[in-house]
Amino acid sequence: MNIDDKLIEYLADLSRLELDTEEKAARKKDLADILDYMEKLNEIDTAGLPEMTHPFGAVNRFREDVVTNGDRTEELLANAPDRKGPYFRVPRTVEE
């Protein structure tokens, strides 16, 4: 499959990744090679078959919806790259 600049830029955008020219070329080639290899699956007729999203079709085991943990604000904020009081601080979110 041919991967053009437009497609790789779109995919990088979906992935929230910035690719420089060199990376873009490399990812285009990888993706094309890998997708060619994946064409193999087209040998199989899968029309009408169920989609298996989980190994055993087992259903999630939910627990009771009760609070088991306390206030962990400090613990969780300890890893924040930047904080202000009990909040995560981030660069400007709205353009001036």
Partner 1 sequence: MDLRTLTALELGALIKKKKVSSPEATRVFLDAARRDFDKSADDETKINAYTDLFEAEAMAQAEAVQERIDAGEYLSPLSGVPVALKDLICTKEGTTTAASKILGGFRAPYDAGAAERLKGAGAVILGKVNMDEFAMGGSTETSHYGITRNPWDTSRVPGGSSGGSAAAVAAGFAPYALGSDTGGSIRQPCSFCNLTGIKPTYGSVSRYGLMAYGSSLDQIGPLAKDARDCAVSLSIISGRDGRDSTSVMEEPFRFCDIIHGEFGDGRMGGLKIGVPANYFSMPGMKDDVRGAVLGAASVLRGLGADVEEFDLPMIDYAVPTYLIIACAEASSNLSRYDGVKYGYRSPGAKTIHDSFYRSRSEGFGTEVKRRIILGSFVLSSGYFDAYYKKALRVRGLIKSVFDEALEKYDIILAPVCPTVAYGIGGQIDDPLAMYLGDIYTTSVNLTGLPGAAAPCGFGEGGMPVGMQLIGKAYSEGLLLDTIARFQLATDYHKQAPKEHKAERKRAGRPETQEGGRPETQGGGRLETQGGGRPETQGAGRLCENAAVFASEAKQSIKTSCKPGLLGLPRRCAPRNDGLSTQSGGSFCAPGEDGGAR
User: DSSP assignment of 26-83, as one string?
Assistant: HHHHHHHHHHHHHGGGGGS--TTPPP--STT-PPP-PPP--------HHHHHTT-SSE
CB of 2 to partner 1, least distance (A): 13
Is 54 near partner 1 (CB under 8 A)?
A: yes
Q: Which residues bind partner 1 (CB under 8 A)?
A: 8, 10-12, 14-19, 23, 26-27, 30-31, 33-35, 37-38, 40-44, 46, 49-56, 58, 60-63, 72, 75-76, 78-82, 88, 90-93, 95
